[in-house]
Amino acid sequence: MNCSIAKITEKRVFLLSLFFLGFIQLSFAQIPRQFLDITVSPDRPSWVYSLGEKVEFIVSVTQSGRPVPVENVRFFVKEEKMNPIQEGSLELKEGKAIISAQGMKNPGFLRCEVFATIDGKEYRGLGTAAFEPEKIQPTVKMPEDFEAFWSEAKAELEKIPLEPKMVHIPERSTDAVDVYHVNFRNIGNSRVYGVLTMPKQSGKYPAILQVPGAGIRPYAGDLAKAAKGAIVLQIGIHGIPIDLAPEVYSNLSSGALNGYWNINIQDKDIYYYKRVYLGCIRAVDFLVSMSQFDGQNLAVQGGSQGGALSIVTAALDSRVKYLSAFYPAMSDMTGYLHGRAGGWPHMFAESNRKYYNFPKAVETIGYYDVVNFARILKTPGFYSWGYNDDTCPPTSYYSAYNQIKAPKEVFVVPETGHWTYPEQGAKSDNWLFEKLKK
């Protein structure tokens, strides 16, 4: 290698390492506090009510823990993602107010949003009351040939040789953990790319497949879980290397892969997520093929889009023995067509309906909606979420969760939105390792 190329490569590795470090830190950060703290909470500690019960939302507007003068305080009460059913201005007394609202007649979530302005900037707070969420039923229909469709797709995948490639990354490895960039074949002459971390000490280990949330990004691998005694494979879903310069992912996000979740939605056989779902199964193939795998204990873990992929992968592949999912996306996506919130990516929401609400798209969604995988799921799972999620409405993931007949455990932290406290992550990891090391 000549000197100039070596310097370019060295610089690129340095920039990537900085990017990876920032990504890792952000992944585990708590949601930042606002300059103006608007707290909205239902009057019942559990935030859960019976149908028809009235609810009072307790509002507190403070700065540094003390009431401050604010302007233009207003509120909306609505079923999540729907139009307001109650709204108005709000008068605060010593930074506090109470908003009384009628309860819901059907199982679901009633959300109160409060807006206040200080120094010309508007801030938002929200709280969400749950009304018998365990009774929420899905709107999406299960196609008669759902299982046959996926059995045929898996049979197609089995005909493709794995052809794995592994490149050791010594600069990221430690005394206890080896790090590899890996890739292997998937359908359509595509490949799955990921980061493998595993214990250096010889032996047999359980395996964890980590599936990603939405977006296009590089991946750094999970050294912490590998150090605890697990083989961990962290994959991307887009069939592109996971160690490119950050601007490549930014350009793809704004360009060719912008709105990837809608690509080929008109045809269930070539919809974007067919390759993704099968790619997750192919990742299981890779882990099972490893001589260091203990041959039995394999789990899948993820949040949001990754929560969806965790349920999907476990439902399609009996080699997955456990799953952990946070606020799964792609759940009951047709909810909007029935007058209530639907799951991310919201293709049937009012603003998107003119583009995607046509029979072939609705048909395709039936084969990819998490609800239908939940209906056939046999894998024990750990789940965690909150009620203030704007991205993946709780109505949508309860639609899936309530269909699961496999053993399940849920840890609800009501005030969380599309983010988690470190304690939720710790509970998930403890649950997984307890199961995997039995």
Who contacts 5 (Cβ-Cβ below 8 Å, separation ≥6)?
none
Helices 3-27 and 246-254: crossing angle in degrees, nearest 10, is 60
3-state helix, strand, coil in the chain (%, to 5): 30, 25, 40
Question: Which ranges of 218-304 does DSSP label H, i.e. alpha helix?
Answer: 223-227, 246-254, 272-289
Would you say 401 and 135 are in contact if contact means Cβ atoms under 8 Å apart?
A: no
Q: How far is 297 from 288, CA to CA, in rounded Å?
A: 10
Radius of gyration of the chain from its Cα atoms, rounded to whole angstroms: 23
Calpha distance 80→82 (Å, rounded): 5
Task: Write out the catalytic residue numbers.
Answer: 304, 389, 418
173 token code pair: 């490895």
- Dist CA 364 CA 266 (whole Å): 7
Cα 397 from chain centroid (whole Å): 11
On the CB side of 262, CA atoms within 13 Å amount to 14
Q: Three-state SS across 143-170?
A: CCCHHHHHHHHHHHHHCCCCCCEEEECC
